[in-house]
Amino acid sequence: MKEIKKYILKYENELLESIVPFWEKNCIDKEYGGYFTFLDRDGSVYDTTKYMWMQWRIVYMFTELYLSKYRQDRWLDIAVQGYNFLTKYGKDKSGIYYFALNRKGVPAVAPYNIYSNCFAAMGAASLYKATGEKKYKKEAESAIRNYLKRLPNPKGKWNKAMKGKTSYLEFGHYMMLVNIGNIVKEYLGSSEFDKDIENSISIIFKYFWQPKYGVIFENIKKDYSIDLESCTGRHINPGHGLEAMWFLIDYAVKNNKNEIITKATEIIEKILEFGWDKKYDGIFYFMDVLGKPHIELQWDMKLWWVHNEAAIATIYAYYLTKEEKFFKWFKKIDKYSFKHFKDKKYPEWFGYLNRRGKVTNYSKGGKWKTFFHIPRYLLKSIEIMNNIIHNEQK
């Protein structure tokens, strides 16, 4: 218990003294609304494009902090101003969110990607939980319905593929449906998407998870079969698999589905065994299930978010199973992360390392990194560790 308490203090300090102040100071666009996500090492802005994933994630995260025991009223204000900007400029007449806006809110990139609606649903649902204002509930429901509507053909008219290209089902679409469905269910008190959540979990366990290889495949064919003849079919993203498993565990805990917990914790262990770099430590970004050359040249890099999600998955697994192997994994991931990703000179973490653990990009935010994975990991881990202590004190 003493060791867990030390981790809680460590994570609280990192969250409240480093991560949150860095973004609170540097990300708010006080002139036009919304947020800056392209932040250099010292917090200075190096690009003003506003990518919707990153924008909505900031709305969600500041609202989650407001809902936490660390609540500060200004965090809700930061989230609301972002919501107002995004709902005013960020979507077309049908409610589909663009991929990116310019600084003033003019659409810059077409809505070819359904994840913009995914994170809009999360942000709006969290605001409804925080305020009880119906406009947020309406927006969350609209966003998730648009997400579901587009699942059969995610890119829609913006799809560049032609008839010779193999079509796949993407794991990310199903894992995120579990996540946003769970948030909407809890925060909106809605059971509208229960069947969609259960269907996604079933497909993940039955088809994307392949026990023979000990991995979750990122892409499977439309007939639910795996494809070992192409780079796309063999592509493995360990971070996604680990993130998804704690999403499933979270859903299972809140809905008393112990069978999901049992299976998900087993999968967490298998993914870590497959994805951990036994030579230089850390978790590989991308892998080929058969060990063939990966089409993406950054395959062997170590990314911040992968380790954030792995830490949540392992501490959650430890909390629910009480198996020491998961706590050992958590400590191993924590040690690697704070050694390599944490900036010793300025607040916040680096996001991109080479295989040997050396920083390759000194930015703190950009097109893909924002105020999301790190604060969520710290906040969620603190919550789980407090539950561990509570249970031990019973």
CATH number of the domain where residue 196 is located: 1.50.10.10
Average pLDDT of span 316-342: 98
- Asked whether residue 341 is assigned to any structural domain, the reply reads yes
Contact 121, 148 (CB under 8 A): no
Give 52-116 as a DSSP string.
HHHHHHHHHHHHHHHHSTT--HHHHHHHHHHHHHHHHHSB-TTSPBPSEE-TTS-EEE----THH
Higher-pLDDT residue of 163, 221 = 221
Residue 225 sits in which domain range? 170-362
> How far out from the chain centre does Cα 269 lie?
19
Return the closest-CA partner of residue 385 out of 333, 312, 328.
Answer: 312
- Which amino acid is residue 259, in one-letter code? E
Taking only the tens place, the pLDDT of each residue in 213-256 is: 999 999 999 999 999 999 999 999 999 999 999 999 999 999 99
| Domain count within the chain | 1
- Asked whether residue 297 is assigned to any structural domain, the reply reads yes
Place of tokens 């653990």: 357
- Asked whether residue 267 is assigned to any structural domain, the reply reads yes
Return the closest-CA partner of residue 318 out of 261, 243, 260.
Answer: 261
- Asked whether residue 257 is assigned to any structural domain, the reply reads yes
pLDDT number for residue 394: 67
- Full-model pTM: 0.97
Burial 33-63 (b: 16+ CB within 10 A, else e): bbbbbbbbbebeeebebbbbbbbbbbbbbbb
Taking only the tens place, the pLDDT of each residue in 275-302 is: 999 999 999 999 999 999 999 999 999 9
- Asked whether residue 56 is assigned to any structural domain, the reply reads no
- Asked whether residue 202 is assigned to any structural domain, the reply reads yes
105: number of Cβ within 10 Å: 18
The pLDDT confidence band at residue 2, using thresholds 50, 70 and 90, is: confident
Q: For the chain, give percent helix, strand, coil, nearest 5.
A: 55, 10, 35
Q: Of 53-57, 157-161, 162-166, which has the strongest mean pLDDT? A: 53-57
Taking only the tens place, the pLDDT of each residue in 111-144 is: 999 999 999 999 999 999 999 999 999 999 999 9
- Asked whether residue 332 is assigned to any structural domain, the reply reads yes
- Asked whether residue 105 is assigned to any structural domain, the reply reads no
